[in-house]
Copies of this chain bind each other. A is one copy, B any other.
C-alpha cells in the first residue's frame, strides 16, 4: 500500500538485510530514523573518537543530523550536525551507516551488528517554540522599565562598546551619577563581577563623573559579595518574575533601539 510509506514504521528485531532496506528507504525519503541496537561508532574530523560496541539509540533526523545516544546522559556520545550525506552498506555481517559532511570535513561511521528496533517516520511539526526571559529579554525589560533596576534610572545606551567589551545598560541616576550595569539572568559569579569591574574602571578613567557599577542578577554567588564591596560596586537583586511582565516584543524592541 502506498499510504503505508507515510505511516510510521516500527520493526522489532529486523534482520540486518531488512534493517538495511528500511534505513535506505527512510534516508532517501528524508524521514526521521531511529535505530536501536548494538553498534560501534567511529568519528573523525575536528577530533577523533572510537566508541566500542554496545547498545545505543541512533537518531537520524529529516535534515540529516545524526545523534548517537548511550543509555544514560543528556548529551549524545557522538553526533553529526545537519546536512550530512549518507552512505548505507551491508558488509561483513554489519549494517554500516556513514554520515559525512564538508566544512569541516568530518565523518561518523556507525556499524550495527544487531538492530533491535527500527523506527522510521515522517514527522510534521509546525508548532512554534518560544523561550522567555533570556538575557536579551531581561535587558529589553530593564531598558523599557528602568525602575526594575533602579527607581531613578535614566538609560542612555545599551550594549555600549568600551575597551573590555559591551556594557549591558548605561545610564544616569537622579543624582547625575553614571550607571554602568551588568545584567545576569542567573546567579552572578566572580566572572560577572570582574567583567563589571573592567567596564567601570574604563568608564571612570574616561570621565570625571561619579560612576556606579551595578551588578543586577536574581542572586549572587557566595563570597563574591565581598569582592563587589572591595571594588566599590553594588549588587541589586532583580525579580525575574517581575521582569517577565515587562518583556518587550520584537516591535517594541525598536522603541529602545535609538539608545544604541
Tell yes or no: A117 within 8 A of B by CB: yes
From the candidates B54, B59, B119, B132, name the one contacting A49 in the complex (CB within 8 A).
Answer: B132
Chain B residue contacts of A127, Cβ below 8 A: 40, 51-54
Beta-carbon contact of B52 and A36 below 8 Å: no
Interface residues of A in 40-91 (CB under 8 A from B): 40, 46-57, 59, 61-63, 65, 67, 69-74, 77, 79-82
Copies, count: 2
Interface residues of A in 19-53 (CB under 8 A from B): 32, 34, 36, 40, 46-53
Tell yes or no: A130 within 8 A of B by CB: yes
The chain B residue with its CB closest to the CB of A13 is: B8
From the candidates B10, B56, B123, name the one contacting A56 in the complex (CB within 8 A).
Answer: B123
Beta-carbon contact of A47 and B116 below 8 Å: no
Beta-carbon contact of B121 and A36 below 8 Å: yes
Contact (A116, B121) CB under 8 Å given A10-B10, A34-B34, A131-B48: yes
Chain B residue contacts of A56, Cβ below 8 A: 123, 125
Beta-carbon contact of A72 and B61 below 8 Å: yes
Beta-carbon contact of B77 and A69 below 8 Å: no
Interface residues of A in 165-207 (CB under 8 A from B): 185-186
Tell yes or no: A103 within 8 A of B by CB: no
A53 to B123, CA, bound (A): 12
Known contacts A34-B34, A49-B130, A117-B119; 16 additional CB pairs below 8 A are A8-B13, A8-B36, A10-B11, A36-B123, A47-B133, A47-B185, A48-B132, A49-B129, A54-B127, A55-B121, A61-B74, A62-B72, A65-B74, A73-B82, A74-B80, A77-B129
Q: Please give me the 4 A-B residue pairs with the lowest Cβ-Cβ distance, nearest first.
A: A54-B125, A54-B127, A52-B127, A71-B123
